[in-house]
Amino acid sequence: MTPCNHNRISKLKAFLEQASNVQGMKNGEVISSTYDPQNPHTWEGIVWNDDGDCFVIDWSNKKHLSGKLNLDDFQALSFLFLDDNRINSLSTRNCFNLEEVTCKNNNLSELDTSGCYTLHTLKITGNPLKEITLIACDRLQRSGLAAGRAISLQSKAAKLSALSHESDSLIPFLLKSNNYDLTRSEYHHYRNLLRDRQIKLNNEFSYTTYQVTKIEQINILLDQKYRAAIKQAQNLCAFAQKQVETDPFVSDYEIDFKIDIYASKKFSHIPEMEGIPIYSGHPTMGFTKLDFEKGNTSPVKNSESGSLNWFLEENHNEFRFRSDHPLKNQHHCWLLHELYDHTYLAWQDILDMEEIWVDVGLVMQHCGEV
């Protein structure tokens, strides 16, 4: 696959063109005897994915690689191996898919892995580190961090879980709301934080072929669940209407539609998050008791604006008129539209979800004069 991201190619080239620890040789020349700065295919140790993006970098045991390595925003990078070199500085900010970094026995004085949400293994022993930044490394636990004997770094390792809690505003919001511990002012405060979080994560989101395909798969699943929920609501309305006509106690009824979305693996390192959905809400159903009473039980009959036909058949893709958007050709169902446009969830949150619970409830009501 031909490398195609010019910004990331430039960052790799900048490191490879730096002087190595061998006099008269560049880092690229240490890595490969056929190194050509204009030809990424000669840059040994790099695995490119199908999108032409950097997936794995393995420059371990080259002994003489030196200088500053900036891999910020390498969003397809999953594995980085740099052991036994002379590298002075490493930054992997916002590498969302980075799972493992090993950079033992180098000359690192500073390391920044902020925003590496999927990072679970970080091995950096044998470095004279003075500064390390681990903000928003939500999966990284103390057992996955090998930082050596430096007291300051061990202290950071011990506080790692707390760092993750503080860095992602979604976590304290979910913990507080699940325990009914949100005051009105806190709710409005978190609403603003979550809006800013959503904007930031969506701006940084990488629409790779894999991500776009997964969004389409989720869209199909949500559409199926939404249609099944409406069918269930229609069945419940039919049952409830008979109860209204035959049971003196039943005066009226309502249909309740609720979804809960879980991402248990993503937050498995936080015990308090066990059993807590990342989103719980009541999306617009598109079918009401009034529709049933009017006989509008199918998209064909119910074809007015705002009706069942609109909810089920309309393309709710917010990006379909943006010619440069990677999702412009998708046909989005209403439920997916609700999640990315009417909630605090970012695209990465939607991709991280593992389970969705759909509740369609019937509330039988009785009203009597006192």
Distance between CA atoms of residues 119 and 132, nearest Å? 15
Q: Give residue 3's pLDDT.
A: 60
- Give the mean pLDDT of the chain: 84
Q: Give residue 160's pLDDT.
A: 46
Query: 190-228 pLDDT, tens per residue?
Result: 888 898 889 988 988 889 888 999 999 999 999 999 999
Query: 112-165 pLDDT, tens per residue?
Result: 888 787 788 888 888 888 778 776 666 676 545 666 544 345 444 444 444 444
Distance between CA atoms of residues 264 and 281, nearest Å? 18
> Is the pTM of the predicted complex or chain greater than 0.75?
no
Domain range annotation of the chain: 6-167, 170-204, 209-365
Distance between CA atoms of residues 351 and 98, nearest Å? 16
Sole residue written with tokens 């006509």:
245
Q: Give residue 270's pLDDT.
A: 79
Inform me whether the pLDDT recorded for 297 exceeds 80: no
The 3-state DSSP class for residue 217 equals helix
Q: Give residue 16's pLDDT.
A: 96
CATH 3.80.10.10 fits 6-167, yes or no: yes
Question: What backbone phi and psi angles, to 5 degrees, belong to 5?
Answer: -90, 105
Long-range contacts of 179-183 (CB under 8 A, 24+ apart): none
Calculate the CA 6 to chain-centre distance: 24
Q: Give residue 78's pLDDT.
A: 92
Q: Give residue 306's pLDDT.
A: 44
Q: Give residue 253's pLDDT.
A: 87
Of 143-157, 242-256, 332-346, minimum mean pLDDT range: 143-157
Which range is most confident: 44-48, 67-71, 147-151?
A: 67-71
If you average pLDDT over residues 52-71, what whole number do you get?
Answer: 94
If you average pLDDT over residues 219-239, what whole number do you get?
Answer: 93
Inform me whether the pLDDT recorded for 169 exceeds 70: yes
Q: Give residue 167's pLDDT.
A: 62
- Which residues, at least 6 apart from 266, have a Cβ–Cβ distance to it below 8 Å? 117, 138, 139, 352
If you average pLDDT over residues 14-27, what whole number do you get?
Answer: 94
Q: Give residue 175's pLDDT.
A: 86
If you average pLDDT over residues 179-184, what whole number do you get?
Answer: 79
DSSP 64-94: --EEEEE-TT-TT--EEE--SSEEEEEE-TT
Computed on alpha carbons and rounded to an integer, the radius of gyration of the chain in Å comes to 26
Q: Give residue 330's pLDDT.
A: 96
- Which residues, at least 6 apart from 2, have a Cβ–Cβ distance to it below 8 Å? 48, 52
| pLDDT tier at 350, thresholds 50, 70, 90 | very high
